[in-house]
C-alpha cells in the first residue's frame, strides 16, 4: 500500500495544480478504501468536477451511491445549485409573510457571485464539520479545485470565523442574522478539524515539472501557515523506464532534474511516486489499477496514426490582422493555458503590436513561463487578489464612504472586511482589462474552467444590474457585451487530447454559447501522436488520442495542434518552439 494511505485519519484532502491527477488519485483512493470494507464519502469541491465522468454515472449536488463500488458514496458541490438551495432556505420561510417588493429585494441581495461562493463554502464546511451529515462515514475524501482556489477555500474557515467574531451588525450575503450562531459554530469546527493532524491529512499531488513543484511547495507552506501540517507528497504520472526512444529519454531526464531540485518544503515530506499509465484513468477498473504498485508491463501497440502538428502560427497570423482586441485562453487546469497565452502575446508583440498579458488565475505565475522572454511592446501583470481587495476597499471608502457620517463609515469599513469582497474586487480588475482591449491587445490567461465560469457569472450579474438601473433610451456597454462582441473578443480554448480535458472544454464551450459568447479556436496541447515516438508506453498513450482529436475537430471552428516537446516550452527559446521566430531586419 502506498504510504499516503497508511494510518489514515478521517478526512483526506487531495490538492495540487490543475491537471496533475488530483481527481484520479482521490477517486482511486476512495475506491481502495471502500474495497477494504470501509464506508467512504467522496466530495468534489471543484466547480468543474469530473468525478461523475470518472465513475461513468451521474452524481451531482446530492449524496449518491457509486454503483460499481459498494460502500462508496459521492457528491459534487455545484455552486449554482448550492446558491439556489441557499436562497430558497432564506426566502422560502418568509415568501408568504412579507410584501412582494421586500422578497424581491432580498432575492436581489442574494443574487451576486459572493452569495454563490458562500453557498458553496457552506456545503463544504457542512461535509467537514456537520456530524449529522457524515456520521455514517469512516472516511471523507475531498477532491479539491486547482491550488489557488483551494488555498482560499481552506483559509476561509478562519477568515469567516474571525469576521463573525468581530462583526457587530449586518452579515451581508450570509443572510439574516438568525442562524448565524450555528454558522459560526460550524466554521469554527471546520477550522479545528482542518488543523488537527489526527483528523485531517493533506495529499499534495504534483507532476515532476519545475513550475508544478514550485506551486506545490508554495501550497505546502501556505496551508501549513493556516495549521494544516499533516502533509504527504505524491508525484504522479512519472515516466520510469524511457528505453531508447529520444522523446521518452528527454522527458525522463527533465523529470529527474526537476525531482533533484525539490523546494525545501517538499523535500521534508513523505513522498510517493506513481508511474504513468498507458491509458486514461476512467472507469473503476483503471482506478483500481492506478494504485497497483506492480502494474502490468506495456506491450507495443504497433504504428500510431500520425497527426499533423500545425502549431500556433496560423492562428497568430489571423489575430495579427487587427491592432487590438481581447484574447482569453480558457480550459481545464494543467492543459497549458499560461504557455499558450504567453506564446501568443509574445508573437503579437514581436510583430509590433502593443500587448498586455495578464492572468485571472491566483495560482498562475506568468513570470515562470516567460522566464525572461520580453519585447518592448509587451507588458505583463497579474490580478493579485489581495492588492485588488485593498484597492476596492480604498475606492469604496473614498466614494461611498465620503457621503456617510462616522458611524456609517465605521459600518461600511466593517462590511468591506467580509471575505467575499474578494470576488467583487477581482471582477473589478477583470473589467478594467476588458476595457483596455479597445485600444491594444490584451491577452488573458484565465483560471481553470470552474472558476472562470464563476467569473463569467459575475460578469452576467453585473450586466443585469446595470441594465435594471438604466433609464429609458439609455444603452449601456458592459464587460459582458464586450465579451459577446466577436470583433473584439477571441476565446481560445486549450485542451489536452484526453477524455476529461476535452469533455470539460466541450462543456465550457456550451456554457459560453449560453451566454452568447462564441469561442474562436481550440488548441490541442502536448499531443503525443503529433510528436512521433517509438516508446511502447508513449505509443500506447498516443493511440488513445485519436477519438479525442476527432471530437475536437467536430467541435471547433479552428484547431491548432501542439506536440509534446522534449523540453519545457518556457523562456524565449522554449516559447519559440511554439511560435515563429521574430523577423530579422
Sign of CA dihedral 539, 28, 145, 549: positive
Q: How many CB atoms lie within 10 A of CB 235?
A: 26
Q: How far apart are CA 566 and CA 563, in angstroms?
A: 9
**Is there a catalytic annotation at residue 367?**
no
Treating both helix axes as pointing N-terminal to C-terminal, what angle do 210-225 and 147-166 enclose, rounded to 10 degrees? 20
Beta pairing, strands 72-76 & 64-65:
antiparallel
Q: In residues, how long is the chain? A: 585
**Is there a catalytic annotation at residue 21?**
yes
- DSSP helix/strand/coil, 412: helix
Cβ-based neighbours of 462, under 8 Å, separated by 6 or more: 427, 431, 478, 479, 480
At 114, phi and psi to the nearest 5?
-70, -30
- DSSP helix/strand/coil, 442: strand
From the candidates 23, 44, 183, 459, give the one annotated as an active-site residue.
23
**Is there a catalytic annotation at residue 24?**
yes
From the candidates 15, 17, 18, 22, give the one annotated as an active-site residue.
22
From the candidates 186, 500, 527, 533, give the one annotated as an active-site residue.
500
From the candidates 17, 18, 24, 120, give the one annotated as an active-site residue.
24
Residue 92 is given by DSSP the state G
Q: How far apart are CA 223 and CA 234, in angstroms?
A: 16
Q: How far apart are CA 110 and CA 236, in angstroms?
A: 41
Angle 39-45-51 from CA coordinates, rounded to 5°:
65
Q: How far apart are CA 87 and CA 223, in angstroms?
A: 31
**Is there a catalytic annotation at residue 331?**
no
From the candidates 16, 17, 18, 19, give the one annotated as an active-site residue.
19
**Is there a catalytic annotation at residue 22?**
yes
Q: Are 269 and 232 in contact (CB under 8 A)?
A: yes
From the candidates 15, 18, 46, 527, give the one annotated as an active-site residue.
46
From the candidates 16, 21, 167, 217, give the one annotated as an active-site residue.
21
Q: Return the percent helix, strand and coil in the chain, to nearest 5.
A: 50, 15, 35
Residues belonging to the active site: 19, 21-24, 46, 500
Amino acid at each position: 500500500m502506498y504510504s499516503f494511505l497508511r494510518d489514515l485519519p478521517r478526512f483526506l484532502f487531495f490538492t495540487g495544480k490543475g491537471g496533475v491527477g488530483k481527481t484520479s488519485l482521490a477517486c482511486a483512493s476512495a475506491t481502495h478504501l471502500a474495497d477494504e470494507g470501509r464506508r467512504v464519502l467522496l466530495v468534489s469541491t471543484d466547480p468543474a468536477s469530473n468525478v461523475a465522468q470518472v465513475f461513468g454515472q451521474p452524481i451531482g449536488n446530492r449524496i449518491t451511491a457509486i454503483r460499481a463500488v459498494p460502500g462508496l458514496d459521492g457528491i459534487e458541490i455545484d455552486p449554482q445549485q448550492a446558491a439556489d438551495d441557499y436562497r430558497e432556505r432564506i426566502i422560502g420561510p418568509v415568501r408568504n409573510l412579507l410584501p412582494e417588493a421586500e422578497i424581491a429585494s432580498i432575492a436581489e441581495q442574494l443574487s451576486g457571485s459572493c452569495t454563490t461562493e458562500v453557498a458553496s463554502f457552506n456545503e463544504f464546511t457542512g461535509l467537514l464539520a456537520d456530524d449529522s451529515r457524515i456520521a455514517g462515514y469512516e472516511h471523507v475524501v475531498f477532491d479539491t479545485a486547482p491550488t489557488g482556489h483551494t488555498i482560499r477555500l481552506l483559509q476561509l474557515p478562519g477568515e469567516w470565523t474571525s469576521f463573525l467574531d468581530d462583526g457587530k451588525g449586518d452579515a451581508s450575503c450570509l443572510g439574516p442574522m438568525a442562524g448565524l450562531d450555528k454558522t459560526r459554530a460550524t466554521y469554527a469546527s471546520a477550522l479545528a478539524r482542518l488543523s488537527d493532524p489526527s483528523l485531517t491529512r493533506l495529499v499534495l499531488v504534483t507532476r515532476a515539472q519545475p513550475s508544478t513543484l514550485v506551486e506545490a511547495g508554495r501550497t505546502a507552506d501556505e496551508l501549513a501557515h493556516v495549521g494544516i501540517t499533516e502533509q504527504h507528497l505524491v508525484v504522479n504520472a512519472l515516466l520510469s523506464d524511457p528505453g531508447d526512444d529520444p522523446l521518452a529519454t528527454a522527458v525522463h531526464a527533465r523529470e529527474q532534474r526537476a525531482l533533484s531540485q525539490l523546494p525545501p518544503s517538499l523535500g521534508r515530506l513523505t513522498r510517493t511516486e506513481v508511474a504513468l499509465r498507458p491509458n486514461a484513468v476512467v472507469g473503476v477498473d483503471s482506478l483500481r489499477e492506478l494504485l497497483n504498485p506492480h502494474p502490468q508491463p506495456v506491450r507495443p501497440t504497433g504504428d500510431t496514426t500520425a497527426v499533423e502538428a500545425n502549431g500556433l502560427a496560423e492562428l497568430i497570423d489571423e489575430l495579427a490582422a487587427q491592432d487590438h482586441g481581447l484574447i482569453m485562453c480558457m480550459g481545464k487546469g494543467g492543459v497549458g493555458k499560461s504557455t499558450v497565452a504567453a506564446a501568443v502575446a509574445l508573437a503579437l508583440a514581436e510583430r509590433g503590436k502593443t500587448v498586455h498579458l495578464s492572468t485571472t488565475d491566483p495560482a498562475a505565475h506568468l513570470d515562470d513561463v516567460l522566464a525572461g522572454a520580453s519585447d518592448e511592446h509587451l507588458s505583463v501583470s497579474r490580478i493579485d487578489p489581495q492588492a485588488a481587495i485593498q484597492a476596492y476597499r480604498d475606492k469604496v471608502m473614498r466614494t461611498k464612504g465620503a457621503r456617510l457620517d462616522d458611524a456609517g463609515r465605521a459600518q461600511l469599513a466593517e462590511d468591506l472586511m467580509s471575505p467575499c469582497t474578494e470576488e467583487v474586487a477581482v471582477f473589478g480588475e477583470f473589467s478594467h482589462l476588458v476595457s483596455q482591449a479597445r485600444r491594444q491587445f490584451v491577452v488573458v490567461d484565465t483560471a481553470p474552467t470552474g472558476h472562470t465560469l464563476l467569473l463569467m457569472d459575475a460578469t452576467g450579474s453585473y450586466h443585469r444590474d446595470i441594465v435594471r438601473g438604466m433609464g429609458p433610451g439609455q444603452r449601456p456597454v458592459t464587460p459582458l457585451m464586450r465579451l459577446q462582441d466577436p470583433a473584439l473578443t477571441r476565446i481560445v480554448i486549450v485542451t489536452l487530447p484526453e477524455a476529461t480535458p476535452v469533455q470539460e472544454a466541450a462543456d465550457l464551450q456550451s456554457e459560453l454559447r449560453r451566454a452568447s459568447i462564441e469561442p474562436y479556436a481550440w488548441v490541442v496541447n502536448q499531443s503525443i501522436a503529433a510528436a512521433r515516438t517509438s516508446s511502447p508506453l508513449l505509443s500506447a498513450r498516443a493511440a488513445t488520442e485519436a477519438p479525442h482529436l476527432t471530437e475536437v475537430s467536430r467541435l471547433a471552428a479552428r484547431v491548432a495542434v501542439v506536440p509534446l516537446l522534449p523540453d519545457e516550452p518556457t523562456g524565449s527559446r522554449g516559447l519559440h518552439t511554439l511560435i515563429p521566430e521574430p523577423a530579422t531586419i
